[in-house]
């Protein structure tokens, strides 16, 4: 078997990442050597591979679903937004510069198609199957000429396409039909059919519509996946996702101790790697909430200032909203505050930035004895160390270089009282360290909270990926899906007018 498939979507957030991970886990359980692939990813949530390459976190999670080590080949182009109109371009794991959307789509993107196809070909040469994820919708006709992630890669590599639609949003039949009808004949020939995501209710009530859709487009539906809570893997686009008021908490078990522990995460602009808090939310009795008002910090036992692609902008935002003063009061009262990456940098005394914001010298919050200078070279590492008597693994993604001039050492950062700062993302996924840290937070907050002894974040992730694999195995036509991956799109698929505009 040497096959492939592109999982496209009727919209952003239709479930492409989840379905791709589910197909990958289903295949690997059948003994297939499989790899994930996303030609171009726009995301502020990224990960560092073992050889120091930066890729989207969704592809790292899909690699885990495949039970393989993630590599830069799985996400050759990563765009990290620095605002509404510009992004840092990361090519094969290394940043190559900033570019406006107009400049990127005006020619640069099209020139990257060769790199993308070469990366995919290399993966296909070493794996039985490669499951590719699209981006947004393949029917974005304004971008088709320069597309390298949807029909551009499908046509370039001869991949069959499965279109995923989120029926929970409504309008899924119109979305399926319209997606196909806006594609050129050559692209339509690769669209094999549909997969319905997040269905609630009796599938028999949906079947007449699926039959009519087949009659209208000549394409079948490969499965109807039921709605399931808690199956989302790492989100991708930090600009689209609105986190205010979002609560992440464990639904697995009640608190072990007498109290819950409340964590408030400041929803700073251009927030990056907010998945750092997922390990906290996995702990029974820990409630994680994203906030943007100072009064929402009042009852928090721990405040986290997360990573950001705009440290100086986030600092200004905190000051404008009164959050900076509220954080400073907490620190003075020895109430726990944790800064991660950009959040660590802005807790320091001074920032010298001629790279990210080009704002020059900026005063930080002055809560940690740290001075930060932004370097043009990005730090991309996978450090290992100890803290609070426990082994810790993490990963670093930052331009800011921190000079620590005091405090107690903490994961290459420092700690003063109950204010902690580190560049290490992912540190809270180390179970022993996370429990030790939560015990410190609970003691400082006066909470009778006890971390569960047996919570394994890695095991929970594995369970989640297995549940995704189960969804595909139990609710998709896996025989037909297997034929699609192995043999490509069925021949003789009809053209659905009007097709793409000239």
Q: Which residues are catalytic?
A: 341, 425
Edge-to-edge strand ranges of the sheet holding 34-37:
34-37, 129-133, 3-9, 161-166, 191-199, 220-226
Q: Which candidate, 92, 88, 89, places its Cα nearest to that of 53?
A: 92
For helices 457-475 and 57-66, angle between their N-to-C axes, nearest 10 degrees: 70
Q: Which candidate, 400, 308, 300, places its Cα nearest to that of 45?
A: 308
Strand partners, 371: 350, 403
Q: How far apart are CA 347 and CA 324, in angstroms?
A: 9
Q: Which candidate, 146, 138, 40, 34, places its Cα nearest to that of 89?
A: 40
| CB-CB contact of 272 with 309 (8 Å) | yes
Quick one: how far is CA 357 from the chain centroid? 24
Q: Which residue is associated with the tokens 């036992």?
A: 301
Q: Which candidate, 484, 501, 499, 490, places its Cα nearest to that of 7?
A: 484
| 78: three-class secondary structure by DSSP | strand
- Concatenating the DSSP letter of every residue in 149-208 gives SSHHHHHHHT--EEEEEEGGGS-HHHHHHHHHHTS-HHHHTTEEEEEEEEE-S-GGGTHH
Q: How far apart are CA 160 and CA 371, in angstroms?
A: 52
Q: Residue 342 is encoded by which pair of tokens? A: 């950009």
């Amino acid at each position: 078997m040497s096959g492939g498939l592109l999982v496209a979507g009727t919209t952003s957030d239709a479930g492409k990442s989840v379905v791709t991970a589910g197909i990958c886990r289903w295949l690997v359980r059948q003994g297939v050597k499989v790899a994930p692939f996303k030609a171009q990813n726009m995301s502020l949530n990224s990960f560092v591979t073992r050889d120091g390459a930066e890729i989207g976190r969704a592809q790292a999670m899909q690699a885990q679903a495949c039970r393989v080590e993630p590599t830069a080949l799985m996400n050759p182009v990563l765009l990290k937004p620095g605002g509404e109109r510009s992004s840092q371009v990361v090519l094969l794991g290394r940043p190559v510069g900033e570019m406006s959307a107009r400049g990127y789509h005006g020619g640069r993107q099209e020139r990257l198609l060769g790199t993308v196809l070469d990366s995919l070909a290399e993966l296909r040469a070493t794996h039985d199957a490669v499951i590719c994820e699209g981006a947004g919708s393949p029917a974005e006709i304004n971008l088709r000429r320069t597309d390298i992630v949807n029909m551009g890669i499908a046509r370039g590599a001869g991949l069959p396409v499965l279109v995923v639609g989120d029926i929970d949003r409504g309008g899924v039949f119109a979305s399926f039909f319209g997606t196909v009808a806006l594609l050129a004949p050559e692209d339509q020939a690769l669209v094999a059919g549909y997969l319905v995501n997040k269905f609630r209710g009796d599938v028999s009530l949906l079947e007449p519509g699926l039959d009519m859709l087949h009659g209208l487009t000549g394409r079948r539906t490969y499965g109807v996946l039921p709605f399931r809570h808690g199956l989302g893997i790492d989100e991708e686009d930090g600009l689209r996702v609105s986190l205010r008021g979002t609560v992440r908490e464990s639904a697995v078990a009640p608190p072990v101790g007498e109290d819950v522990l409340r964590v408030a995460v400041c929803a700073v602009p251009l927030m990056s790697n907010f998945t750092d808090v997922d390990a906290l939310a996995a702990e029974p009795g820990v409630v994680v909430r994203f906030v943007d008002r100072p009064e929402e910090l009042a009852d928090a036992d721990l405040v986290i200032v997360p990573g950001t692609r705009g440290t100086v902008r986030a600092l200004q935002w905190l000051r404008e909203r009164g959050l900076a003063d509220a954080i400073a009061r907490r620190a003075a009262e020895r109430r726990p505050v944790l800064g991660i990456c950009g959040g660590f940098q802005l807790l320091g005394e001074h920032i010298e930035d001629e790279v990210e914001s080009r704002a020059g010298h900026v005063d930080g919050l002055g809560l940690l004895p740290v001075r930060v200078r932004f370097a043009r070279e990005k730090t991309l590492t996978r450090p290992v160390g100890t803290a609070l008597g426990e082994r810790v693994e993490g990963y670093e993604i930052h331009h800011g270089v921190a000079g620590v001039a005091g405090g107690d050492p903490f994961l290459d950062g420092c700690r003063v009282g109950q204010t902690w700062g580190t560049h290490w993302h992912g540190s809270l996924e180390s179970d022993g360290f996370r429990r030790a840290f939560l015990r410190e937070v609970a003691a400082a907050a006066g909470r009778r909270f006890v971390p569960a002894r047996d919570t394994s974040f890695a095991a929970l992730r594995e369970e989640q990926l297995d549940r995704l694999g189960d969804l595909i195995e139990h609710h998709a036509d896996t025989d037909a899906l297997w034929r699609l991956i192995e043999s490509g799109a069925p021949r003789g698929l009809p053209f659905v007018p009007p097709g793409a505009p000239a």
